[in-house]
Structure 1
């Protein structure tokens, strides 16, 4: 009975894995096909559904060296913005989370409840106010409009607070007795103990900004400053219906995130587990 149950669990996991990975494999193999072959084998189940008959790298060449859409420039723009937002999110949100977790002040419960209430507000509701604010500040069509509004993450504060709350108060009190001030205690005691949670939040933040589409589309008009997801959309429209090139562009945009996640997945899983977030 136990063997049968273990087999069913393994079979279910394999089915879920195939469903999850299947579209990614089709995207990668589709980027290696000429356009004429892309939809030729989609109506039947055979090996050529995933294995190209005519293997080609021309789609990647056309995407990378496109004069109309400098794809490498878009990747660079996105990397700069996502990295800057990630650094600022880790810095600002870790300090706020430490204050909510370990410091005592009169309005802390009410202030934390106010922060948490912001999580139920859909992001689309804040698009117009944020756009008007960026317009009044003169930040439209600049990287500041992409970086500054994303520096605060209510979810990030909540996640790090859950993690910081598990750090024994005795460690912080011992550091204070030894003469360490609050900033030194935070840097030398709290942050090193929270590395998995920080990496988890950093990975989530970087991925969210890497895949950002709607906000860059609204605040950036200069094509040379555009982010990668908006660039892929523009690429597909300017290149007509050549979906092989679109798949190649999506594959190129996925590779950095894939390698980043594979390198940091151990810390990501540990951070999710230790921060008390379930789901």
Structure 2
């Protein structure tokens, strides 16, 4: 009976894995199809799963396009997402440590106010945020693209849950020895928070890599644009360039998949240790 239940469990997990991975597999395979072949085969046969005539034309069309070189947009997106991730980890970790371990007036009230913003859709604050960026003369700049995204309430909340589990006796012993809070934060707290920081870094990087609406509003110069906006430009009311869409989507998925595969164990460990459950 136990072996039967285990077999049903593994079969169910395998089925869910296939259902989850098949659209990704189909996207990558379609990137090597001619656009005329992409929706031709609908019957269940090998032609549905593999290209009949393999071609690199779709990738050539996006990477060798002199007007819209996709490689430049990937570098723009990587620079933007990497900068937001690095700066966000520092700022959000410091804020989370303050909420978790320091004592200051109205701490609980401020934390409640911070967390309440999670219930506000990002689109609601985009207009006042845009006006602030305009007044700072940051429109069509990487500063306007990056700075508003550094502070992330979800990241502060996630790290606060992790820092709250650090024994306060260790911190008080360091204070007795004369260490400042900044030294305690950098020498004691951060090294113990590596799994949580890597987890938040992965989530932040993916979130920024997939951003569309804010870059679309802020950036007007084509050479500074990011990949999601460029991919959306391949679709218009008149026609859809499916070959470019699947090739660009496949190319933009590779960095995320590589990062996640290499850091998967830290991601799982960080989720378990931070107490954040989906």
Q: Is the partner of 1:141 in helix, strand or coil?
A: coil
Gaps of 5+ in 1: none
- In the alignment, which residue of structure 2 is the partner of 1:270? 269
Whether 2:224 is the aligned partner of 1:225: answer yes
CA contact (8 A) 1:33 1:56 kept: yes
Tell me the alpha carbon deviations over residues 186-231 of structure 1, each in whole angstroms, 9 at most, x when there is no partner. Answer: 0000000000000111111111110000110111110110011001
CA contact (8 A) 2:234 2:240 kept: no
Instruction: Provide the TM-score with structure 2 as the length reference.
Output: 0.97
- In the alignment, which residue of structure 1 is the partner of 2:70? 71
Q: Is the partner of 1:59 in helix, strand or coil?
A: helix
- CA distance in 1: counterparts of 2:82 and 2:236, whole angstroms: 28
Instruction: Provide the TM-score with structure 1 as the length reference.
Output: 0.96
Q: Counterparts in 2 of 1:243-258, with a 5 A limit?
A: 243-258=242-257
Q: CA deviation at 1:62?
A: 1.7
- CA distance in 2: counterparts of 1:20 and 1:203, whole angstroms: 20
- CA distance in 1: counterparts of 2:45 and 2:99, whole angstroms: 57
CA contact (8 A) 1:69 1:235 kept: no
Q: Counterparts in 2 of 1:1-279, with a 5 A limit?
A: 1-41=1-41, 43-237=42-236, 240-279=239-278
- CA distance in 1: counterparts of 2:177 and 2:151, whole angstroms: 33
Q: CA deviation at 1:242?
A: 3.1
Question: How many positions carry a matched residue from both structures?
Answer: 278
Give 4+ residue runs of structure 1 displaced > 2 Å after superposition: 235-242
Structure 1 pair 260–239 and aligned structure 2 pair: CA distance change class (3 A): farther
- CA distance in 1: counterparts of 2:62 and 2:133, whole angstroms: 32
- CA distance in 2: counterparts of 1:241 and 1:128, whole angstroms: 30
Of residues 50-59 and 188-197 in structure 1, the stretch that sits farther from structure 2 once superposed is 50-59
Q: Is the partner of 2:123 in helix, strand or coil?
A: helix
Q: CA deviation at 1:235?
A: 3.3
Q: CA deviation at 1:133?
A: 1.3
- CA distance in 1: counterparts of 2:93 and 2:3, whole angstroms: 46
* Structural RMSD (CA): 1.4
Q: Is the partner of 2:51 in helix, strand or coil?
A: coil
- CA distance in 1: counterparts of 2:36 and 2:115, whole angstroms: 52
Q: CA deviation at 1:239?
A: 10
